[in-house]
């Protein structure tokens, strides 16, 4: 159970980090996503799971993120159950097989401008990640497709939609978005080599903010911690976080991930 929980959490948070990085590098795309969310959800309502199916552009953003940055670039290893001839190659029985979905998602034979982040390519397209389109397999396919797909896709859409709905995002100190280091590092999942450091520029003083803030802390070095402290919300955010979500945050955040963590989180 622990492996399933941690595995699902890391793949989802990593995908959201990549999505935010790509959106910050492409401000017009971010504005389209935020405008769609605002028109469907409304400015005075919280983002709900029931809104996801109405947000075609947000769905396209998630698909494009998974195409360029699949959390498991080689999926889970497979094993040949018998001697197999494939495209002129002999694959002996019991050979361990890795599927390079990272390369497939960037193959110019199947994708126009494959290195460009362009969610519009999925609008009006039937291509999906449920294992029926072999040019797009972030969750695998067949009997061994990721069992967490139904939950994972809802979590990713809900997390990203909530973050875009509740906050405006920019790089710390108004840095140039083109300077974001997009270098990939492969570990248990494919993460950014340099963690994304961003500032959120607006907030609402209610418990929803704590929930969204803590999701963000799991993968982003938040400049907003200073903003909250400066505005006199230090004791409020600590009390709410400890009451509702703090045990989970402590599992996935180290002190060095927070600005002024020793003073902010005593």
Indicate the class that CATH gives domain 2-72+105-202: mainly alpha
The tens-digit pLDDT sequence of the chain (266 residues) is 555 555 556 788 899 999 999 999 999 999 999 999 999 998 788 899 999 999 999 999 999 999 999 999 999 888 999 999 988 989 999 999 999 999 999 999 999 999 999 999 999 999 999 888 999 999 998 888 888 888 888 999 999 999 999 888 888 766 788 889 999 998 778 989 988 888 776 645 444 333 344 444 443 333 334 344 444 444 434 444 443 333 223 222 333 333 333 333 33
Where along the chain do its domains lie?
Answer: 2-72+105-202
Annotated binding site for heme: 146
Q: Are strands 221-222 and 96-97 parallel, antiparallel or unpaired?
A: unpaired
**Quick one: 254 exposed, middle or buried, by C-beta within 10 A (0-12, 13-18, 19+)?**
exposed
């Amino acid at each position: 159970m622990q492996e399933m929980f941690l595995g699902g959490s890391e793949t989802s948070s990593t995908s959201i980090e990549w999505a935010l990085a790509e959106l910050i590098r492409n401000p017009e795309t971010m504005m389209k996503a935020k405008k769609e969310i605002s028109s469907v959800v409304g400015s005075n309502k919280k983002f709900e799971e029931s809104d996801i199916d109405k947000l075609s552009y947000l769905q396209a953003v998630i698909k494009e993120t998974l195409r360029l940055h699949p959390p498991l670039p080689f999926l889970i290893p497979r094993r040949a159950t018998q001697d197999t001839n494939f495209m002129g190659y002999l694959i002996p029985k019991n050979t361990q097989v890795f599927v390079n979905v990272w390369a497939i998602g960037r193959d110019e034979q199947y994708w126009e401008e494959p290195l460009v982040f362009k969610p519009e390519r999925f609008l009006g397209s039937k291509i999906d990640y449920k294992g029926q389109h072999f040019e797009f397999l972030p969750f695998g396919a067949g009997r061994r497709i990721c069992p967490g797909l139904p939950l994972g896709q809802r979590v990713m859409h809900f997390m990203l939609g909530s973050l875009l709905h509740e906050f405006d995002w920019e790089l710390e100190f108004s840095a140039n978005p083109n300077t974001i280091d997009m270098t990939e590092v492969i570990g248990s999942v494919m993460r950014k080599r340099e963690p994304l450091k961003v500032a959120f520029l607006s907030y609402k003083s209610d418990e929803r903010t704590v929930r969204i803030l803590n999701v963000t802390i799991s993968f982003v070095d938040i400049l907003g911690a200073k903003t909250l402290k400066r505005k006199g919300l230090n004791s409020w955010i600590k009390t709410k976080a400890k009451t509702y979500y703090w045990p989970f945050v402590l599992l996935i955040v180290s002190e060095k991930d927070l600005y002024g963590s020793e003073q902010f989180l005593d």
